[in-house]
Structure 1
Amino acid sequence: MIIRILGQGQYDVADTRIDELNTLDTRLQTAVDAGDTEAFTAALQALVGTVRGLGVRLPDDTLVASELVLPGEDSDLEQVRALLTDEGLIPG
């Protein structure tokens, strides 16, 4: 699956890693719902870092539709809150 991290490019992550990403997404959603800035920052860094670690970065000149879009690590709690759905940032 192709995941875009805003401001950082696209990464190709194996579909088999979706459960791992969903676990991190749930932690992020919990922190946002609680308004816990410290937990939010840690959860967002973990999610974005995991995508970078698991994925293969696509060249900047490659045009591929992203299946998921994640905020960059510099996003604040309110910016991420606006992006969340009932399923978090990652459906499933």
Structure 2
Amino acid sequence: MIVRILGEGQFDVADSEQDRLNELDAAVETAVEADDEAAFRVALGRLLDAVRSVGVAHDQASLDVSSVILPPADASIPEVRDLLSDDGLIPG
């Protein structure tokens, strides 16, 4: 899947990493629902770090559509709340 971190670019992430990313995504969602800024910062940081570590930079010249769009590290809780769907930030 192609994951875009807003302001950073796209990463190719193996489908085998989806369960791990979904667990981290659930922590972000829980923190957003609780309006817990400290937990939110930690959870979002872990999710973005995981994408960066397991993903490979996608060709910048490519016009491929991202499968997942994640907020930047400095996003606010309200901004992330607007991006959340029933599946969180990462579908599945």
| TM-score normalized with structure 1 length | 0.96
| C-alpha distance in structure 2 between counterparts of 1:89 and 1:18, whole Å | 12
Counting only pairs closer than 5 Å after superposition, residues 15-26 of structure 1 correspond to structure 2 as 15-26=15-26
Post-superposition offset of 1:85: 1.0
SS at match of 2:4: strand
2:66 alignment partner in structure 1: 66
| C-alpha distance in structure 1 between counterparts of 2:55 and 2:20, whole Å | 13
Letter in 2 for 1:84: L
Letter in 2 for 1:20: R
| C-alpha distance in structure 1 between counterparts of 2:81 and 2:56, whole Å | 27
| C-alpha distance in structure 2 between counterparts of 1:78 and 1:5, whole Å | 17
2:75 alignment partner in structure 1: 75
Contiguous gaps of at least 5 residues in structure 2: none
CA RMSD across the alignment:
0.7
1:41 alignment partner in structure 2: 41
Letter in 2 for 1:60: Q
SS at match of 2:62: coil
1:54-83 CA distances to partner (integer Å, 9 max, x unpaired)? Answer: 000123222211111000101011100111
Q: Among the aligned pairs, what percent are the same residue?
A: 50
Contiguous gaps of at least 5 residues in structure 1: none
Moved beyond 3 Å, runs of 4+: none
2:54 alignment partner in structure 1: 54
Letter in 2 for 1:45: G
